[in-house]
Amino acid sequence: MSEGPAAGGQASSAPLMGHASEPTLFELSQPGRRSWQLRTTGIPEWGIEDLVPAEHRRVAPVALAEVSERDLVGHFTRLSHRQYSVDLGAYPLGSCTMKYNPKVCDAVAALPGLARVHPAAPAELCQGWLALLVELDAVLCAVTGMAACTLQPAAGAAGELTGLLLMRAYHEARGERRTRVVIPDSAHGTNPASVALGGFEVTTVPSDERGCVDMAALLGVLGPDVAGIMLTNPNTLGLFEEEIVEMAGAVHEVGGLLYYDGANLNAILGVVRPGDMGFDIVHMNLHKTFATPHGGGGPGAGPVAVSSRLADFLPGPRPVRRTPSGGGTPVAPGSVTSGTAPGEYGWSWPAHSIGRVHSWHGNALVLARALAYISVHGGDGLRRVAERAVLNANWLRVRLAGVLDVAYDRPCMHEVVFSAAGLKKRTGASALDVGKALLGEGFHSPTVYFPLVTDEALMVEPTETESLQTLEALARACERIVAAAEGGEDLHAQPTSTPVGRVDEAQAARSLVATFDARPEEPRE
């Protein structure tokens, strides 16, 4: 492939290696340079005018950067080396499980029989896909203790909204008008927003001195207008709600439903099920629990499983296994068997469905990855996932006691909340400073200033995928940072060894610069 004329000299990438500021493609651009060229389009000149009407043809070329393939690849490769990901190292974000994504799951999702099927293909031509979806439905119901599931929601937040729409449909079908949803003060930040989108009002209940829902306060806000309660267990402080059965009984007594935010499901896999605690609705973040790509790594998936009394309200259509005779009546998801005889699987609409919540049937290749992860582990393996996640968090809790304050110094689940309040009082170094300094130590920062109920919070979730050696390295990095602050070092400038240093995040949010050329030119060294 030709790189085109080298007008203006070769923009060699060699001097840019290690440069603190990577130039943009427009800064690398040289007039007349191309990444590739076609000898001919194969379309006669007279044909262009016939194919593209004059009103749709540009009068001037698009203003694109003109670079060689060599410089183009080098630019994006250098940018990729500046990124941090679960493939590069520990990503201890608390309350947002970020664990390694096994490559075997990517290999499964890339199988031609899965990747090359159009979502509009009729059921008889995608029996393998339907069998996969029915099996995943059954497995997720088994893991959560629920009766039925929808795989449509495209992410955890979409799952939250779906669950609340199900809650509303259930009460409306009973002729009841319920206006409030109860949420603990330690809840995930998306919960109140989802409640509002679902058409409900938020009623907040405080945590007690042990970091759990204050039962007396909960009982004080329950009433006939309460549609349900939205919480997770273990809660957002990483602590198990020990009175969950009593909470479920109190909410059910006033006719409300229990919604389980599945962000922390990774802590209880194979140990205890939300359904056994009394929950009616469970949303799952497949990226958090079943190691599918997270955030910019791929589309999300947030299946929602429900108890039997809500099954008829699920979004449709749902993948089902038909009766052995090939009739249209679906068999319950839990009765999945092997085999994909023609017509054995199909689609079914629940009797009182709330309708679609996704344009098709969910982000299918993410669902395939999740089932691959579950299949590789098996039931016993999923339990070990939870046990090791809990063990890692408690190891860090003990290891860093005395280095940082522990917000709730008792056995935690999969995550532990530290506090830099004492350190800030002694040295002026805040939780944000500690998090930024960890970037310079080669670790992604933990979650800072959340949960809001803990002053100067540093929330760490090591997950089960990190080794003891990695945890020890993280602990030593924290020790060095705290020692530096205690020794008088100013941490406000950290990090100093990363490609991009300390930025003014508040100013960036208030005065967003969305394009490279919207800022004054700065001289290059």
CATH number where 269 lies: 3.40.640.10
Q: Which residues of 22-41 are buried (b: 16+ CB within 10 A; e: fewer)?
A: bbeeebbbbeebebeeeeee
Residue 93 domain-assigned (yes or no): no
Cβ neighbours of 76 (radius 10 Å): 12
Domain count, the chain: 3
Same-domain status, 249 and 362: yes
Cα gap 228→432, rounded to integer Å = 35
pTM exceeding the 0.95 threshold for the entire prediction: no
Residue 134 within any structural domain of the chain: yes
Residues in the chain: 525
pLDDT of residue 323: 67
Tell me, yes or no, whether 77 lies in a domain: yes
Domain boundary among 63, 81, 99: 81
Q: Measuring CA to CA, how many Å separate 379 from each of 375, 385, 390?
A: 9, 10, 17
390 in the same domain as 262? no
Asked whether residue 519 is assigned to any structural domain, the reply reads no
176 and 45 within one domain: no
Query: Do 158 and 232 belong together in one domain?
Result: yes
Q: E strands, 291-428, where?
A: 304-306, 318-322, 330-331, 345-348, 405-406, 416-419
126 in helix, strand or coil? coil
Q: Are residues 130 and 76 in the same domain?
A: no
DSSP 18-62: T-SSPPPHHHH--TT--S---S--S--HHHHHHHS-GGGS-SS--
Domain identity same for 291 and 319: yes
CA distances (Å), origin 395, targets 172, 462, 464, 471: 47, 10, 12, 8
* 486 and 356 inside one domain: no
The reply to whether 435 and 504 lie within a common domain is yes
Q: Is residue 429 part of a domain?
A: yes
Residue 326 belongs to domain spanning: 123-331+350-373
pLDDT of residue 42: 63
Measured between alpha carbons, how far is residue 174 from residues 196, 316, 320, 330, 354 in Å? Answer: 21, 21, 27, 25, 15
Give the residue ranges of the chain where pLDDT is below 50. Answer: 1-19, 325-341, 524-525
Does 427 lie in the same domain as 362? no
DSSP string over 203-270: EEE-B-TTSSB-HHHHHHH--TTEEEEEE-SS-TTS---TTHHHHHHHHHHTT-EEEEEETTGGGTTT
Do 74 and 199 have their domain in common? no
Q: Is residue 118 part of a domain?
A: no
Question: In CATH, what number is assigned to the domain containing residue 498?
Answer: 3.90.1150.10
Q: Is residue 367, in this structure, part of any structural domain at all?
A: yes
Are 238 and 361 contained in the same domain?
yes
Q: List 283's β-bridge partners, or say none.
A: 261, 304
Spatial distance between the Cα atoms of 129 and 313, rounded to a whole number of angstroms: 24
Please check whether residues 190 and 212 belong to one and the same domain.
yes
Instruction: For the chain, give the longest Cα–Cα distance.
Output: 82
Residue 246 lies in a domain: yes
259-292: pLDDT as tens digits: 999 999 999 999 999 999 999 999 999 999 999 9
